[in-house]
Each structure stands twice: as structure tokens, then as C-alpha cells.
Chain A
Amino acid sequence: MLKVNNINMSYGDLQVLWDVTFEVRKGEIVVLVGANGAGKSSILKTISGLQNVSKGTITFEGENVSNINPSEIIKHGIVHVPEGRKLFNEMTVEENLIMGALHGEAKEKRNETIEECYLLFPRLEERKKQLTGTLSGGEQQMVAVARGLMSKPKILMLDEPSLGLAPVLVQDIFNIIKSINKQGITVLLVEQNVQSTLTFCDRAYVLENGKIVLEGTGQELLNNEHVKTAFLGI
């Protein structure tokens, strides 16, 4: 579904991605794991066009989307839920959700999708008139995920949804991601929370210094010696 072929990407003179190749198949949950600065978020930014590739191609459903204008990417069904949530904090929860559905089919079905999101996150319905800046971290993350769902994505790219959340909330968010995936939405997840994500993902790629060094199913990687020493501390 999403194929990333040999991409290089640089911030100015600083190259951060080196020959990165991976793919996400329809219906999967794929995780990119790696330490801080390994290039995980940069990969998502490159897919969504916020950064340009200097080499290589990105294709989605057979269509070349490399170096696409970032405001166009959502129309292809690729939705990026950025790191740090990036909500519109001076807008209400409901307005934030509306912002996810500005185009095409998503816009027509806006009201239905809002109801679906409220079923998935009952907490958000209670707080729909509240400014998102006044919500707790967990609630903000729910808004960010829900806003992503509002665009009726084919693939949802989540950048560290567990960042800054209490462990019990982290588990909630992961459960929600699993249930979203069950509804047929493909998920590409970037996480530092290696242990728990590897247990529920279909496949994972390990990044180090802007290169993919390992790939496999979650279970394979959990048993991998390198992953054990580098990420799990066992």
C-alpha cells in the first residue's frame, strides 16, 4: 500500500535519512522503533511532504507521492498525526475535529464521523465545547487521533501517541489504535515505547542513525538479541 524506496532526506546540509526502504501493506499495523534522533519522525514528515526527499521515491497505492505538497497528502488518504499532538489549542474539541474533515468525502460525512469519534472517545463528547488547550495530555492525544480519523484515512500515521502520557493512558491509546485498525484502517506507528508496541504490531522496522537496521514481525524482534540489549535493557 505504502512503499518507501531508498529515500534520502536532509535538513539543510545535515542528512538524516539514508537509503530508507520499507513498506506498509493494507490492513497492517507497522511500527518504526528507534532511539531519539534515529529519524523516525523525519520519515513521517517526509511521507507527508513536510520535508522533501533528495533521492528515492514514495508511492501510495501505486501513485508517486514523493515531494508532494503537504496540503495535498490528506486527499490521498494519508493522515499524519504529528508528534506533540499539534492541536489548534484556541479552538474547541469539536472545531478541532471539524478541521480534520475539510475535503471531499470526509466533508460530506462530517457529522456522521464526529458521532463515530464520540463513540470511540466518549470523553471527547463530554468536552466538545471546551478549548483543547485546557484538556489533559491524554484527552489532547484523543483529540489528535480523532481529528486524524475525521479525514477518513486509508492509512493513519501516528507519531509517538504515547508521548508524555501516564502508563495507564498509554495502554488505552494502544487499545484504541488496535480497534481503529480492526475497522480496516492501516496504521503506521512511530514509537519509543518499544516493548508494548512490538507485542501488538504486525511488523516493525528498527531505525538507527537514519538507517533501517532490522525488520521483522513484532515477535521476531522481541526475541532479537540486538533489540533486547539496545531497547529493552535485558
Chain B
Amino acid sequence: MELFLQTLIYGLLIGGLYAVIGIGMTLIMGVLGIINLAHGQIMMVGMYLAWVFWTFMGIDPYLSLFLAVPLVFLLGIFLSKYFLQPLIEKESILPENQVLMTVGIGMVLVELARFIFTSDYKSVETSYSSETIALGNISISLPMLIAFVIAIALTLGLFQLLMKTDLGRSIRATAQDKDAATLMGISSKKITILTYGIGSGLVGAAGILLLPMYYLYPDVGPIFTIKAFVITILGGLGSPIGAIAGGIVLGVAETFGATYISMGYRDAVGLVIFLLVLVFLPGGLKQVLKI
């Protein structure tokens, strides 16, 4: 029973982080209509930035959220403005080619990271990296808990933005009907670029939150791109609330897989769920939860 609870709690905590990764992907999917196959790689950039801030300036990873996330946001703006937008504007180029472009962007980011930081594994060892909080017989890792709380705060902040501000409403409107949004005076170009920036910033933040518990190397990204994709499909395309549900389901399922089957099958569990959802629930959790 304790093992079960321990696993469940760990799964929920990691699920909160996955939700942030998934929401970024979902926003981009909703507005740009493409799968961002550079998602995890952009996260990797955020992690390296935070690592640099820690190693060379001694800035705590949680503090460097305020420095690194804006930089990742700007990177997203730059990438979408100069690499994705030109493809959107040319009608002769199929939307599929934007997906290919994200693949290319991802590769370049990985190789740049390898060039600058080499392939060595790096980690951020903070004083609290291995601290735990005991709740009876259950122990909760402190960085995991902090990450979860910040992830929740980020998610709430994002929802506040999406639901209560004109900018957020414009993002949702553009995702729902681009032409109608344009007629309302919304520049879909601006919104598209901005959305990619926001999605990048979110996944960058998630990466930084993972940093105190995770090894960092240039190829850390792709598995998170896949996870983000799984979450997006699991939640139902383009639904931020679905992405939260999807993130938590994936987090819990993976942890249970790791505990009760084998650590090595952890990522495989997610992919099995992915296949099952595609076959049996193509609308994702959105379809079940009616959100």
C-alpha cells in the first residue's frame, strides 16, 4: 500500500511537469496547426541556459527561471518569425513542411548544444537536490515538490492569461477560427509568432524545473518531444485542459510502469498508452471529459 501511494504521489508530481510540457505543445498545435517536433529540444536549450547560470554565476535554477525562460521565449519568437512564418505565408508550401522545419530546428539545436557543451552528462547539484520530506512512511523529493508547485502556478497563470486577457482570448480565437479572428482585427501572424514563443517558454520552464533531478546532455530533448506529443494526443488535440489531464495520466502511468513492471519500461508505458488512445479514443480525454 505504501509503495502504491508513494508511486501515485510521484506520478502526480511528475505529471504536473508533463502537463506544462504538454500545454506548450497543445497551444502551438492549436494555433499553428502543426506538431512541434523541436519541443523537447527547445526544453534542452532552457536546461542548458539554467545550467550555465548555475555553473558560472551560481544562480539557483529556480531563480534562473526568471532569466532563462524569457530567453527561451525569445528563442521561440525568433524561430517562428524567421523559420516557420515564411513557410506559412507561402501558399505553395504545404503545412506539413513546417513540421519538417521543426525537425530541422530540433537537429540544429541539439548539434549546437553538442558543439558548445560536448556530449558529457551534466547536472546541477544544489543543496536541496536530494532532500526529501517524510509523510509517515512516504517520502517526497523536495525538488520534485517545488517543481510541482511552480508547475501549478505556471499553469494557473497561463489559464488566467488565456481566459481573462484580450491577448489570451485572441490566441484562443485564432486557434478556433483564423479567418474570423482576422476579421476581428487580430493579426494572426503576430499571434502565431507569440504562441510559439509562449509554448517554448513553457517547455523551457518545465526543463529547468526538472534540472535539479535530471542529467543534462544534448540528446535529452527528443524523448520529451515524444512525451509532449503523447500528452497532446492523450488530452485531445488543442485542448489545454485536456493537456493537463493527459500530462497527469502519462506521469502516473509511467511511474506505475516503472515501479511495477520495470524501470526500463518506463517510457514504453507511455507509448503503449499512446497507441491505445489512438486506436480506442481518437478524440483523447477531451472526448471523455467534454471539455
Please measure, in the bound complex, the distance between the C-alpha atom of A88 and the C-alpha atom of B166, giving whole angstroms. Answer: 14
A127 smallest CB distance to B (angstroms)? 18
Specify which of A82, A89, A95, A98 is in contact with B183 (CB 8 Å cutoff): A82
Specify which of B169, B179, B183, B188 is in contact with A74 (CB 8 Å cutoff): B183
Please measure, in the bound complex, the distance between the C-alpha atom of A73 and the C-alpha atom of B183, giving whole angstroms. Answer: 8
B172 A91 Cβ-Cβ under 8 A: yes
Please measure, in the bound complex, the distance between the C-alpha atom of A107 and the C-alpha atom of B166, giving whole angstroms. Answer: 10
A91 B169 Cβ-Cβ under 8 A: yes
Interface size class of B (residues with CB under 8 A): 10 to 19
Give the residues in chain B near A20, CB-CB below 8 Å. none
With most chain A CB atoms within 10 A of its CB, the pick from B183, B184, B188 is: B183
A82 B169 Cβ-Cβ under 8 A: no
Give the residues in chain A near B185, CB-CB below 8 Å. 71-75, 102-103, 151
> Which A residue's beta carbon lies closest to that of B180?
A86
A91 B184 Cβ-Cβ under 8 A: no
With most chain A CB atoms within 10 A of its CB, the pick from B180, B184, B186, B188 is: B184
A86 B179 Cβ-Cβ under 8 A: yes
B132 CB-CB contact with A under 8 Å: no
Please measure, in the bound complex, the distance between the C-alpha atom of A103 and the C-alpha atom of B185, giving whole angstroms. Answer: 8
Specify which of A69, A75, A90, A103 is in contact with B176 (CB 8 Å cutoff): A90
Which residues of chain A (52-80) have a CB below 8 Å from chain B? Answer: 69-75, 79-80
Specify which of A50, A74, A90 is in contact with B184 (CB 8 Å cutoff): A74
A14 smallest CB distance to B (angstroms)? 15
B177 CB-CB contact with A under 8 Å: yes
A48 CB-CB contact with B under 8 Å: yes
Please measure, in the bound complex, the distance between the C-alpha atom of A82 and the C-alpha atom of B173, giving whole angstroms. Answer: 15
Give the residues in chain B near A100, CB-CB below 8 Å. 184
B139 CB-CB contact with A under 8 Å: no
Query: Which residues of B are interface residues toward A (Cβ below 8 A)?
Result: 166, 169-170, 172-173, 176-177, 179-188
28 pairs, A vs B, C-beta closer than 8 Å: A50-B182, A50-B183, A70-B182, A71-B187, A74-B183, A74-B185, A75-B185, A80-B183, A82-B180, A82-B183, A86-B177, A86-B180, A88-B172, A88-B173, A88-B180, A88-B181, A89-B176, A90-B176, A95-B169, A98-B166, A99-B169, A99-B170, A100-B184, A102-B166, A103-B185, A107-B166, A147-B184, A151-B184
Query: Which residues of A are interface residues toward B (Cβ below 8 A)?
Result: 48, 50, 69-75, 79-80, 82, 86-91, 95, 98-100, 102-103, 107, 147, 151
Listed from nearest, the 8 A-B pairs whose CB atoms lie closest are: A86-B180, A74-B185, A71-B187, A88-B176, A70-B182, A88-B173, A99-B184, A71-B182
